[in-house]
Amino acid sequence: MNYFEIYDIPESFLLDEKALKNTYYKLSREYHPDFYANEPQEKQQEILQLSTRNTNAYRTLAHPDLRMQYILQQHGLLQEGKNNELPSDFLMDMMDLNEELMELEMDFDADKFHELGERSSGLMAQLDNDILPTLQRYPELHGITKEEALQQVKTYYLKKKYLLRIQETLSKFAARS
């Protein structure tokens, strides 16, 4: 049973956070091990597993990036060592950014640091804006198939991870300055 089925909600990248939390608390009460202390060991073990599964499902679905990763994994699109290629134009842009980061490391320049931070934030905002319509309509899509939408989300997810690494490097510069 996948995490969306546990909460009896449709697979979606954008969830009703309040409803998710309410269902989590309801299941937490239902599967709380203390209520089964006098039950046979087998029943206690079953409840413990249900409680653990509920917690894991909530932690995953409550966090947008983990939820996205989970959906992509459920559809076999994020597998270690499998087709996780990014578009060449994006990679060229990232190569330029990385070169500028290396130059910054050798010869720190506050203005250049600020410019790179602004540029990476702008790229992240553009990524978010570009994918939002797909996330909002998923899985009820018009004009593209579910598979095409999932591929778009996968590309977004991989690009975002890449940009987050660059922003992490920039934050290390900020800590040193």
Q: Give the integer Cα–Cα distance in Å for 47 and 62.
A: 22
State the pLDDT at residue 81: 66
Question: Taking the CB of residue 77, how many other CB atoms lie within 10 A of it?
Answer: 20
Token pair listed for 24: 């989590």
The CATH code of domain 3-62 reads 1.10.287.110
**Structure confidence at residue 102 (pLDDT):** 92
Q: What confidence tier does 162 reach under pLDDT thresholds 50, 70, 90?
A: very high
Dump pLDDT digits (tens) for 95-110. 999 999 999 889 888 8
| Rg of the chain in Å (alpha carbons) | 21
Is 172 or 16 the better-scoring residue by pLDDT? 16
Distance from C-alpha of 124 to C-alpha of 150, rounded to nearest angstrom? 19
pLDDT of residue 37: 92
Task: Give the residue among 88, 97, 156 at the shortest CA–CA distance from 128.
Answer: 156
Percent over 70 (pLDDT), the chain: 97
CA-nearest of 64, 53, 68, 40 to 5 is 53
Q: What is the pLDDT of residues 113-155, one digit of tens each?
A: 999 999 999 999 999 999 999 999 998 878 889 999 999 999 9
Which DSSP symbol is given to 131? H
Q: Strand, coil or helix: what is 33? A: helix
Of 27, 33, 26, 28, the closest CA to residue 47 belongs to 33
Q: Residue 177: what pLDDT?
A: 57
Asked if residue 79 has pLDDT above 80, the reply is: no
Residue 176's pLDDT is what? 66
139: nearest Cα among 15, 32, 7? 15
> Which of the four pLDDT bands, split at 50, 70 and 90, describes residue 26?
very high
pLDDT score recorded for residue 143:
85
Boundaries of every domain in the chain: 3-62, 88-176
CB 71, CB 11: distance < 8 Å = yes
What does pLDDT average to over the chain? Answer: 92
